[in-house]
Amino acid sequence: MRYWLMKSEPAEFSIDDLAALVPQTIAWEGIRNYQARNFMHHQMGVGDHAFFYHSCCKQPGIVGIMVVSRLAYPDATQFNPSSKYFDPKSNRDSPRWFNVDITLKQKTRLIPIKELRQYPKLRNMRVLQTGNRLSITSVDPQEWQFILTIL
C-alpha cells in the first residue's frame, strides 16, 4: 500500500462536497500535470490511502482521508469541448490524461499547513517544500503514521 496527499481547492471541490455524495466516491479528474498524472496512472493502486488537502484557501491543510477505489482510466473531461479541462491534442485512442476514483474514508479535523510545519518528523514532506505546486504527492509511511497520531 502507498500513501498520497491529493490537493483540491475547496471552492472547486471540498471535503464536504465529497461527503455529500452518495456513494462518497468520485473520479479525481482535471489533473493536467504530467508528474501527478503519472502517479495516478503508474503508481496508485486500489486500497492506497490519501490525505484530502484543501489548497489555495484561507487555511490550507489536511481535512480528510480517502481510499483509491478504482485504478486509473482516461479522464473524460479531456474529450469534452465544453469542459475547462478539454485537451484538443488528446484522443480516445491515445488519451493524455487519467484519473482514479477515490472514496471518502473519514473527515478529519483541519490540520493546517502551519501546524504540519511545526513537526520535525514532517520536515521532508513534499507538500511542505518551498515551491511545491504538485496537486498529488507521495507521503512517506512514517509521515503518514505520524499524522494519524495528531488527528
> Structural domain boundaries of the chain?
3-150
Q: What is the pLDDT of residue 70?
A: 98
**What's the pTM?**
0.95
Q: What is the pLDDT of residue 115?
A: 98
Strand order of the β-sheet with 49-54 is: 25-27, 98-112, 61-74, 49-54, 3-8, 136-138
The dihedral built from the CA positions of residue 67, 71, 75 and 76, taken in this order, carries a sign that is negative
Cell 513537526 belongs to which residue?
Answer: 119
Contacts of 17 (CB under 8 A, 6+ apart): none
Tens-level pLDDT at each residue, the chain (151 residues): 999 999 999 999 999 999 999 999 999 999 999 999 999 999 999 999 999 999 999 999 999 999 999 999 999 999 999 999 999 999 999 999 999 999 999 999 999 999 999 999 999 999 999 888 899 999 999 999 999 999 9
Helical residues (DSSP H) of the chain, grouped into ranges: 15-20, 34-38, 113-116, 141-150
Alpha-carbon distance 13 to 120, whole Å?
Answer: 30
Please, what CATH class does the domain formed by 3-150 belong to?
Answer: alpha beta
| DSSP letter string, 114-151 | HHHTT-GGGTT-GGGSTT---SEEE--HHHHHHHHHH-
